[in-house]
Amino acid sequence: MFANISSFLKSITFIDYVFFFSVIFLIILVVSLIYFIKINEEIIESTEKIEDTDNLKEIVNNLKAIDPKPITFTPYEKEQEDKAIISYDELLSNTGEFELNYTDEEVKDDVTIKKVDLNNIANQNMQIEVNPKEVPLLSLEKEEEFLRALKELQKGLN
């Protein structure tokens, strides 16, 4: 039996080997493609489809029900955020304070194209109003009560 197998393998040419392995590769490729298609169909079936797209309350409720994925920083990203001149949070808080100056504006196929004035790029938006709010201080009794509650919580966690 082994003699027959060895004589068969000796009679096969290089092109036969290439053909054999290419057929095996294509079979594996087709099976994996079918697998990925079935996985994607299950994901699509599991999500709820909103029939009435004009119902904004339903859309908002569905978006609120989805838990946002927390941002996890790698140690390098955390180090860069700590060393940054301006952090991401500061950048987000400063949005809307400045607006760009444009020299020319034209509309092409429902797209507005604006040319930025490079000599006077930005000006400060004067529409920002800062309303200082008075923060009422806790009385000494309430502060002591709060500290006692924190100590009890810490004892309960230990």
User: Comparing 113 with 54, which gets the higher pLDDT?
Assistant: 113
Q: How far apart are the first and last CA of the chain?
A: 73
CA distances from 60 to 16, 46, 50, 65 (A): 60, 19, 11, 9
Quote the pLDDT of residue 45.
56
User: Comparing 134 with 8, which gets the higher pLDDT?
Assistant: 8
Mean pLDDT of 80-84: 79
Residue 48 carries which DSSP code?
P
Task: Name the band, by pLDDT with cuts 50, 70 and 90, for residue 25.
Answer: very high
Contact in structure between 81 and 87 (CB atoms under 8 Å):
yes
Residue 152 has pLDDT above 80, yes or no: yes
Q: What pTM was estimated for this model as a whole?
A: 0.27
